């Protein structure tokens, strides 16, 4: 989408290679997930002052957005969640085409924390063993 006068007054990243504006598509208080695995909640300041173009330039294209955090999580994300009053952590799995965690559907749990699969893969430290002769 091309920026109009309203967006251009508040956003100055167009010349930095921005791929498009999500100004009209994403509402305030929506969760946003980027291709680099960052998750944000859109607040009034980000929406008005910077536009969401800024996120494309700094964090990659927006891949999902929703008012429900459960729509943002994906296959192989690590989540900390609460079910039946107890806290657990595990990876999200795909079973019969539906996302679930252990034996629970996402609708049955309360998500407390998320580490996206992209962030996990980017932060892996590989241990190399040196063979001394």
For residue 81, CA distances in Å to 10, 111, 127 come to 37, 4, 30
Query: Is pLDDT of 108 > 90?
Result: yes
5-14, 34-43, 102-111: least confident range:
5-14
Taken in order 30, 33, 34, 36, the sign of the CA dihedral is positive
Give pLDDT tens digits for 13-54: 554 555 555 555 777 788 888 888 988 888 776 653 355 555
* pTM across the whole model: 0.70
Q: Which sequence spans correspond to the domains of the chain?
A: 1-69, 73-124
Report the alpha-carbon distance of residue 3 to residue 127 in Å, rounded: 47
């Amino acid at each position: 989408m091309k920026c109009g006068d309203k967006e251009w007054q508040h956003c100055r990243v167009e010349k930095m290679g921005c791929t498009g504006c999500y100004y009209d598509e994403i509402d305030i208080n929506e969760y946003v997930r980027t291709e680099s695995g960052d998750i944000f909640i859109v607040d009034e300041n980000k929406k008005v002052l910077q536009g969401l173009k800024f996120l494309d330039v700094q964090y990659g294209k927006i891949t999902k957005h929703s008012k429900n955090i459960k729509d943002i999580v994906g296959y192989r994300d690590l989540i900390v969640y609460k079910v039946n009053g107890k806290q657990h952590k595990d990876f999200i799995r795909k079973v019969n085409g539906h996302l679930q965690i252990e034996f629970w559907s996402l609708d049955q749990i309360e998500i407390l924390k998320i580490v996206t699969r992209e962030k996990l893969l980017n932060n892996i430290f590989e241990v190399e063993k040196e063979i001394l002769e």
